[in-house]
Amino acid sequence: MKMTSVECQVRMGNIDVLLRSNGSIQGTIQTGGAQVLTTPEKIKHPYIVIQEGYCGGSPIIAGTKFPVRSVVNYVLKQGMTPEELLKEFTHLTLAQIYDALSYYYDHKTEIEHELSENTEEKLKSQVSR
């Protein structure tokens, strides 16, 4: 399934807000003829960490070695529900799983690249060298 980028513009009085499917938010405030452009809000992911030299620098669920790409693979590529994933990996919480999915949507290009670099075929070819 291919996801497309979606934008939604909402006007509330003198405030225009642009919401994007990647999670970014940008707003414009009209103030007496002047326009103030707010900077896109950086979304925080409290359950996701990246540590140089740890798990190859891939984003992982904090306190684990479970990569975000694995959550994406199980849930979005293989069709597991977050609840099913939780039953298989009992050390995770639903909040961690959903934050990993949220992180994916905010960093889709990066995670898709990681998924393509970590296929079974590529890993087998690296081992056989």
CATH number at residue 119: 1.10.10.10
> Does the structure show a pLDDT above 50 at 3?
no
Q: Are residues 16 and 55 in the same domain?
A: no
Q: Are residues 87 and 116 in the same domain?
A: yes
pLDDT per residue as tens digits for the range 80-110: 999 999 999 999 999 999 999 999 999 999 9
By DSSP bridging, strand 60-61 and strand 48-49 are antiparallel
Number of domains, the chain: 2
> Please, are residues 67 and 55 in contact by the beta-carbon 8 Å criterion?
yes
Q: Are residues 113 and 69 in the same domain?
A: yes
CA distance 63 to 31: 46
Q: Are residues 17 and 63 in the same domain?
A: no
Q: Are residues 59 and 113 in the same domain?
A: yes
Task: Give the confidence band of 69 by pLDDT, cuts at 50, 70, 90.
Answer: very high
CA distance 65 to 25: 30
Which residues form the domain of 27? Answer: 7-37
Greater confidence, 5 or 7?
7
* DSSP three-state, residue 32: coil
CA distance 103 to 101: 5
Q: Are residues 33 and 53 in the same domain?
A: no
> Does the structure show a pLDDT above 80 at 71?
yes
Q: Are residues 73 and 111 in the same domain?
A: yes
> Does the structure show a pLDDT above 80 at 44?
yes
